[in-house]
Structure 1
Amino acid sequence: MASEDVVGKSSAGESAVTTIVNLAEEAKLAREGVKAPGHAILSVCKSLVAGGVAGGVSRTAVAPLERLKFLLQVQNAHNVQYNGTIQGLKYIWRTEGVRGLFKGNGTNCARIVPNSAVKFFSYEKASSGILWLYRQQTGNEDAQLTPVLRLGAGACAGIIAMSATYPMDMVRGRITVQNEQSVYQYRGMFHALSTVYKQEGFRALYKGWLPSVIGVVPYVGLNFAVYESLKDWLIKSRPFGLVEDTDLTVWTRLACGGAAGTVGQTVAYPLDVIRRRMQMGGWKDASSIITGQGRSQVEYSGMVDAFRKTVRNEGFGALYKGLVPNSVKVVPSIAIAFVTYEVVKDVLGVEMRISD
């Protein structure tokens, strides 16, 4: 038996080594431009992995700010518990501890990892297809993507990724908002999905989908367009002696990603607030943060109704509730996501980059 165990361990070790060698060979072939069998499928998988890792890392890094943004967006104007970024984070720490700062992050990552993977991959495919059509129409085989075309590719990627993972985003919002005073507790993403489906129906899983679609066009579209255009400008104008993409440092890419995130979230933020409020609609066991003491929760018949009631009851400024923590969050989040994506693809040996 002992000898069999040794043989088994040896075989397993040899298998692991073989796998590593094969991956290394695939990466080498990719860098050299040689198309090995299954290269296309492997490249797709690596691209999806890179996008997923980028989303998970970037979102976890800013999880406390993400939760605070949610709470500020949906809290009732007559039952204010969170008055700002510093006060809000301190209040969560004092009342719920460290776990409170990261509440909902597991569910968030369960959503953002596939969302980010699909989003980055969709952008690559959409930009390639748009560039091909653009070259066919102009008759210029050397034509490159313009900022407007990048915006279109980013918008397509955002809509595809958001629609594919929207139910998870919806229940993630509820899990993030609930606290110890909530009447009903969701135990996790799958429990929340099944509970919402049973109590409120299938359509409830897509509450707020329309403002999400409208908002994702400028948000994701501008993120990709600004990031890629800034990089392109830095390379072509060579303001700092830059010659090619590999000369862009991590800090330079972080700066480009931060600028992209700032522009995108500022334009789309009001739609994000309305989306969150619509997602909370119909939640009869919502916490007092949302309903207020002795008050019923506001119901919305649609996106326009949500805009109208929010502005009428709380003023125009309510459309920007949580903007400060979101701004503090989104700059490093988007920057980290773009840089992580490119770094992971470099490590995995995928030659195709979003810049291409």
Structure 2
Amino acid sequence: MLAGGLAGVAANLLFHPLDTLRARITAQTASSRPYPEGVWQATLHIWKLEGPRAFWRGATPCAVWAFLYIGINYTCLAFLAPLALHRHRHSSLPLARPTDPLSAPSSPPPSSAILSVLAAGAVAQSIAYPFDLLRRRMQLGWGEGLKLERKGIFTSLSSLWGQAQMAVREGGGLRGLYRGYPVVLLKVLPTTVVSYRVSSGVTQWLEESA
């Protein structure tokens, strides 16, 4: 989990400014288009008006999300794949001789492997999603310049904790941290399956070509 999580953190933080630009450009509306000419204008606009630090807004929740999502995903796959293989071997035991090494598959069958990939992706996304939501809120500058009062303590909405408080208040509880989650899940699960099938197909082709 640690290796996969740290790799995800490094990759996401490296390209975080580009993700911020994408979020800003795609979030603009027809009535308010601060970046009508695209990426270059958006870059200059943010740099001049908000400073270079604006490109790194949401970097903290981004790092937490990447570590949790990728680390948990790898961990779940490492745990589920052997279970799928063990179950397949036992279900096919009457049809194969245990003494024959060729009768036992070295990897889970495609159906079991796909189920393992789907389960791992769903678990990882369910745990990490709130940090992805907070990252996007901070990138878009929601509530910038405002203050949130809670028990006499004023918290800047540009902070991670301030955005989390506002998301909870707007969503009527903790479910506010999961706004858009079903849509993301519908995107992540098929993407994960396609990625797995392509990866396994290319790996098999390379092994057969060697």
The two structures share one fold, judged by TM-score above 0.5: yes
Q: Does 1:178 align with 2:28?
A: yes
8 Å CA contact 1:223, 1:264 repeated in 2: yes
Q: Deviations over 1:10-32 (max 9, x none)?
A: xxxxxxxxxxxxxxxxxxxxxxx
Name segments (4+ residues, structure 1) moved above 6 Å: none
Q: Deviations over 1:172-218 (max 9, x none)?
A: 22223233333323544454334323332211111011111122222
Shift of 1:226: 1.4
Q: Which residue of 1 aligns with 2:84?
A: 234
Which of 276, 281, 293 is 2:136 aligned to?
Answer: 276
Closer, same or farther in 2 for the Cα pair 1:230/1:314, shift >3 Å? closer
Q: Deviations over 1:55-113 (max 9, x none)?
A: xxxxxxxxxxxxxxxxxxxxxxxxxxxxxxxxxxxxxxxxxxxxxxxxxxxxxxxxxxx
Alpha-carbon distance between aligned partners in 2 of 1:321 and 1:282, rounded to the nearest angstrom: 15
Alpha-carbon distance between aligned partners in 2 of 1:283 and 1:308, rounded to the nearest angstrom: 11
Shift of 1:240: 4.2
Q: Does 1:331 align with 2:189?
A: yes
* Corresponding letter in the other structure for 2:35: Q
Alpha-carbon distance between aligned partners in 2 of 1:196 and 1:282, rounded to the nearest angstrom: 15
Q: Does 1:209 align with 2:59?
A: yes
Alignment RMSD (CA, Å): 2.7
Which of 196, 200, 220 is 2:46 aligned to?
Answer: 196
8 Å CA contact 2:141, 2:158 repeated in 1: no
Alpha-carbon distance between aligned partners in 1 of 2:91 and 2:36, rounded to the nearest angstrom: 52
Alpha-carbon distance between aligned partners in 2 of 1:224 and 1:191, rounded to the nearest angstrom: 39
- Name structure 1 gaps, 5 residues minimum: 1-150, 285-298, 352-356
Shift of 1:159: 0.9
SS at match of 2:15: helix
* Corresponding letter in the other structure for 2:186: V
Q: Which residue of 1 aligns with 2:177?
A: 319
8 Å CA contact 2:143, 2:157 repeated in 1: no
8 Å CA contact 2:84, 2:112 repeated in 1: no
TM-score, normalised by the number of residues in structure 2:
0.75
Alpha-carbon distance between aligned partners in 2 of 1:204 and 1:311, rounded to the nearest angstrom: 24
Q: Does 1:168 align with 2:18?
A: yes
Shift of 1:318: 1.6
Q: Deviations over 1:271-303 (max 9, x none)?
A: 11111110000799xxxxxxxxxxxxxx72310
Shift of 1:222: 1.2
Closer, same or farther in 2 for the Cα pair 1:283/1:184, shift >3 Å? farther
Alpha-carbon distance between aligned partners in 2 of 1:236 and 1:189, rounded to the nearest angstrom: 51
Q: Which residue of 2 aligns with 1:71?
A: none
Q: Which residue of 2 aligns with 1:344?
A: 202
Alpha-carbon distance between aligned partners in 2 of 1:189 and 1:260, rounded to the nearest angstrom: 35
- Name structure 2 gaps, 5 residues minimum: 93-103, 145-155
Q: How many residues align structurally?
A: 185
8 Å CA contact 2:169, 2:176 repeated in 1: no
Q: Deviations over 1:217-257 (max 9, x none)?
A: 22111111212322222224435436212x522x4333222
* Corresponding letter in the other structure for 1:335: V
Which of 210, 222, 240 is 2:72 aligned to?
Answer: 222
Alpha-carbon distance between aligned partners in 1 of 2:44 and 2:203, rounded to the nearest angstrom: 36
8 Å CA contact 1:155, 1:217 repeated in 2: yes
* Corresponding letter in the other structure for 1:336: V
Q: Deviations over 1:288-330 (max 9, x none)?
A: xxxxxxxxxxx72310111122223442222111011112121
